[in-house]
Amino acid sequence: MAPGSVDRQKRPELRARVRRLLNLPRTLRHRALHETGICSVCGRDSRFLAHSDNLKESLCCVHCDAWTRVRMIADVLLGIYSRAGARSLSALVDEEAFRALSIYEAQASGPLHALLRKCPAYVCSEYFADTAPGTMHEGVRCEDLQALSCDDASLDLILHSSVLEHIPRPDDAFREAHRVLRPSGRLIFEVPMTDRGNPNLRPKSVVRVDTSSGRAVHLLEPAYHDDPLDPQGVLVYTDFGLDIEPRLSRFGFDVELVVRRLESSTMSHAVVVVARKM
């Protein structure tokens, strides 16, 4: 390792520590929203700290930094895949049946990645606009969910969180997921489905940027979300709604929506979509 360099696998942990320090003033201001319990990611008795009124992106575990939507995905994985009563993802990755799965995560960092990388057939990626899918960029595999380099029927599980809204052609991503999944394989992902301050889930998806002509046409004021790979943020193409269920069904998925109501949160709900290839 070069002098002054940091092991790539330790970077998320270091970023989490720095983030906690930077968020300390806001964490203290929101201490009335803090929660306690067993973390479904790391499995430890924990405190979940809020650093904002958006509890979907907050309530971070003091041990592994897993926030609400990440822990929701872990809960879903436990409910579907555990055969030995695992109470956390840290225990699930030691179960033989789960370790036998071919897993692809569209993220190369974070609390889920830190544990899933222990599975023998786990692969992960990020998207880099100037890198061909399936090739490496600074040690990280590049993939485009709209045009995956994976073989047909080669995966058992695809995971991503707060990614789909940033994809220009989400239907292409659904089609690709169906192509690369084995029969009964699952696409499990979290996507925002509510507007800030709205107590209800969005009934219909709203296209913010139309790309049907081959170029980006903004239909609404541009919106950006935070992106750890881009300090300027990443553009939102679609605000998804409950019509995502029939939309996925058209591609051959059996769909279930796992919804959690978040009291006292500016984002009133968190939703995890479980789409099983029929």
Condensed to tens digits (0 to 9), the pLDDT of residues 76-133 reads 999 999 999 999 999 999 999 999 999 999 999 999 999 999 999 999 999 999 999 9
Residue 99 CB partners (closer than 8 Å, separation 6+): 93, 119, 120, 121
User: Is it the case that residue 4 has pLDDT exceeding 60?
Assistant: no
Region at 190 (left for phi over 0; alpha for psi -120 to 50; beta for the rest): beta
User: Is it the case that residue 11 has pLDDT exceeding 70?
Assistant: no
Angle at 242 between CA 237 and CA 244, to 5 degrees: 60
Question: DSSP of 80-137, one letter per residue?
Answer: HH-SS---SHHHHTTSHHHHTS-EEES-SSSHHHHHHTTSTTEEE-B--TTS-TTSEE
Q: Is the pTM of this model over 0.75?
A: yes
For the domain made up of 70-277, the CATH class stated in words is: alpha beta
Query: Pick from 150, 180, 145, 140: which is nearest to 162 by CA?
Result: 145
The CA-based dihedral angle spanning residues 20, 266, 262, 91, taken in that order and rounded to the nearest 10 degrees: -30
The pLDDT confidence band at residue 173, using thresholds 50, 70 and 90, is: very high
Tokens 């939309």, located at residue = 247
Residue range 261-268: mean pLDDT, rounded: 95
The pLDDT confidence band at residue 18, using thresholds 50, 70 and 90, is: confident
Q: How many Å apart are CA 251 and CA 171, to the nearest integer?
A: 9
Mean pLDDT is lowest, of 12-21, 78-87, 98-107, 195-204, for 12-21
Q: How many Å apart are CA 123 and CA 215, to the nearest integer?
A: 31
pLDDT of residue 160: 98
Each domain of the chain, given as residue ranges in start order, spans 70-277
